[in-house]
Structure 1
Amino acid sequence: MTAELKASRHDATLVLIFANPGRQNALDGSVVAAAIETLSKAERDDSVSAIVLTGADQCFCSGVEAGKDLETQVLVLENLQNLIETMRSFPKPIIAAVEGVAVDAGFSLALASDLIVAGQNAGFGISPAQIGTWAVGGAGWFLPQRLPQQWTAEILLDAKPLTATRLQAAGLVNKLSADGAALDKALAWAEQLSAALASAPAAFEQFKTLLGNASSTTLNESFSSEKHRLLTKRPGTT
């Protein structure tokens, strides 16, 4: 069997499922392209209010399969980076529901999500093959933004996945679930977020812009942005 992206609807939540039996749901170029296209359509679909990203068979994603040809590897990496950028600019909540392993590109996809729900024994990390390269779609950038140096060094250099329990203690995982229940918990959370944002559908997009600019703006610039949002707020919104 080959890798594929499966999709299903749960009310207003679109669930995207990485599937690659026997390969711990490793991605290939076609799956990455399908994910970009699906997110682009979901962005324009008003009936979709949240995305849950997960993997089949109680495993999230073990990275990408790009063969040994360097040109192909670079192309797949560039497409993966495009997917990560698409996720970071996506104007609706994306929740990663992680079971099993989230390694290399799988780790980057979890980090690129807005929120992470994980089974207690889910493992996050970088594989030995990526040490020295870390060409995995941005994990080497995300981690120093969110974790102390010692945590980042352990993850990038040890090549032994850290459990979700440890990463929740570090502030990287939002919610833990019993093993096998991450998807259900993520769907329930997505439903709550959809209800909360129903009266102000643009609020989440504004939040992501605010968060994305936080590290590159001064406090005074943030104050000016707050004032601008208040002055331009449409009547009836919150």
Structure 2
Amino acid sequence: MTETTTQEAVLLTEQRGRVLVLTLNRPRAKNAISLELAQELARSFEELDARDNLSCAVIFGAGGTFCAGMDLKGFARGEIPIIPGRGFAGLVENPPRKPLIAAVEGYALGGGFEIALAADLIVAADSATFGLPEVKRGLTAAAGGLLRLHQRIPYNKAMELVLTGRMLPAAEANGYGLLADLVPAGETFDAAIRLAETIAKNAPLATAASKQVIRESNDWPLAEKFKQQHEIVQPIRTSNDAKEGAAAFTEKREPVWTNS
């Protein structure tokens, strides 16, 4: 993985143990997603899934804002931050196979909220604000907001938020069960890292397979649910990591995962 260190870089990357940290680094533009940033994100998510020494990722926004959505100045120049096969921000149509945590400070609006919804877990500051205001601009939340929000919060509340375009304070979002954790402002990044490190201690194959079943099973026919789950989890049961997990438990030591 190439370390991005300059302030001019639109995406900063850092590896902390088995956790990949992705920081949107366009603070003067409220971390709006440009085509360049979408391309960098797509490459990073592909690397996350490809590397055996990475188990999960955290996505964060520099400068006190998570993401204000699409870069409208770039859009006016004809740049559309959609990556073929992955969608807006290189993410929303094809999230990574491994767990992804969104750490939200400030605003997550429009496409920024849709990025958070594409993540598996959201950790937010108590001062954070979410929103899908597209209808106020004659648009629709077509980067996953219309498809995901009603699966994460009650249907009627999702419908109200989408049709009115109003802002959703983090405390209210937490009340609907949208958040994995609600923390004081300024503590979101550290809280997300702690959660990611807890996940990363577990067997990578098992966490990825568990995510896949939870993500996909809503669309499975009732009579096929256990059969389709079996096809995903059976290779995990017979893996070397499953044997290692049992051995480590018996020997009262930390497991050493090999992703095999």
TM over 0.5: yes
Q: Would you say the 8 A contact 2:127–2:170 is kept in 1? A: yes
Counterpart check, 1:109 vs 2:118: no
Cα separation, partners in 2 of 1:63 and 1:207, compared to 1, 3 Å: same
The separation in 2 between residues aligned to 1:100 and 1:175, in whole angstroms, is 15
Aligned amino acid, residue 192 of structure 1: T
Give the stretch that moved more between structures: 40-49 or 226-235.
Answer: 226-235
Mapped to 1, the partners of 2:74 and 2:183 lie a distance apart of 37
Find out whether 1:119 has 2:125 as its counterpart: yes
1:76 aligns with 2:84: no
* C-alpha contact 1:28 1:76 (8 A) present in aligned 2: yes
Q: Are the structure 2 counterparts of residues 25 and 230 from structure 1 closer, same or farther at C-alpha, using a change threshold of 3 Å? A: closer
CA distance in 1, matches of 2:177, 2:100: 17
The answer to whether residue 226 in structure 2 is matched with residue 220 in structure 1 is no
> Do structure 1's residue 234 and structure 2's residue 222 form an aligned pair?
no
Gaps of 5+ in 2: 1-6, 246-260
Match of 2:211 among 190, 204, 208: 208
One-letter amino acid of the structure 2 residue matched with residue 64 of structure 1: M
Cα contact 2:88–2:143 (8 A) shared by 1: yes
- Structure 1 residues 38-79: Cα deviation after superposition (integer angstroms, max 9, x where no partner): 111121112211100000012100011144867936x43464
**TM-fit CA distance, 1:98:** 0.3
| C-alpha distance in 1 between matches for 2:77 and 2:29 | 22
Change (3 A) 1:139 1:231: closer
Distance in 2 separating the partners of 1:215 and 1:131? 32
Q: Which amino acid aligns with 1:123?
A: T
1:10 partner amino acid: R
Deviation at 1:110, TM superposition (A): 0.3
CA distance in 2, matches of 1:117, 1:153: 23
Q: Counterpart of 1:146 in structure 2: which amino acid? A: R
Confirm or deny that 1:53 pairs with 2:56.
no
- Which of residues 104, 117, 120 is equivalent to 1:98? 104
Contact kept in structure 1, 2:27 and 2:65, CA below 8 Å:
no
Aligned to 1:182: 188
Provide the residue aligned with 2:257 in structure 1.
none
Structure 1 residues 4-49: Cα deviation after superposition (integer angstroms, max 9, x where no partner): 1111222221110112132211110000010001111121112211
Instruction: Give the aligned partner of residue 18 of structure 1.
Output: 24
Report the aligned-residue RMSD.
2.5
Structure 1 unaligned spans of 5+: none
Q: Counterparts of 1:168 and 1:84 in 2: how far apart (Å)?
A: 22
Count residues in correspondence.
232
Q: Considering only CA atoms, is the larger Rg found in Structure 1 or Structure 2?
A: 2
1:85 lines up with 2:90 in the alignment: no
Indicate if the aligned counterparts of 2:135 and 2:163 stay in contact, CA closer than 8 A. no
Shift in CA distance, 91/69, structure 1 to aligned 2, threshold 3 Å: closer
Q: Is the 8 A contact 1:3 1:21 kept in 2?
A: no
Residue 14 to residue 121, structure 1, CA distance change in 2 (3 Å): same
Alignment CA distance shift 1:82-1:23 (3 Å): closer
SS at match of 1:202: helix
Letter of the aligned partner of 1:223 in structure 2?
F
- Which residue identity lines up with residue 29 of structure 1 in the other structure? L
Identify if the C-alpha distance between structure 1 residues 81 and 63 changes in structure 2 by more than 3 Å, giving closer, same or farther. Answer: closer
Which structure has more RCO (C-alpha within 8 Å, separation ≥ 6)?
1
